[in-house]
Amino acid sequence: MESLPKVVPEFLAWLPRVGLSHFLIVSAVLFSLGVFGIVTRRNAILVLMGVELILNAANLNLIAFSRYSGLNLDGQVAAVFVIILAAAEAAIALAIVLNIWHRFQTVNIDEVSTLKE
């Protein structure tokens, strides 16, 4: 890292050097945004987008810890499994949302409050 040239304009020089906590705080912000999306959205698709934000935040945490513990690859393996399960979750959730649409003609989750018609 020491050999890289300074490419930052002077007015940004007050920003601190990036460490582990910077990645963790970005992931905390993304996690909070995902929770906000899940709680406030009425459309089921947008709730799913909130879930994806949360999963990405968790992945960023895992990979950041893996990097800052001397490139220990266990964190990256866990992130691979998170991506696999996110794909499976998205497929099943979209199938359920399509079924809800066929049955109720709406995907607003506060209107779909009955188990049968």
Restricted to residues 58-117, the positions that interact with another protein (CB under 8 A) are 59-60, 63-64, 66-71, 73-74, 76-77, 79-81, 83-92, 94-99, 101-102, 105, 107-108, 110
**Shorter beta-carbon distance to another protein: residue 59 or 114:** 59
Positive or negative torsion for Cα 81, 82, 85, 90: negative
What secondary structure letter does DSSP report for 73? T
CA terminus-to-terminus distance, the chain: 63
Interface positions, 1-60, toward another protein (CB under 8 A): 1, 4-8, 12-13, 15, 17-26, 28-37, 39-46, 48-50, 52-53, 56, 59-60
Q: Which is nearer to another protein, 17 or 114 (CB)?
A: 17
Got the DSSP string for 14-29?
Answer: TSPPP-HHHHHHHHHH
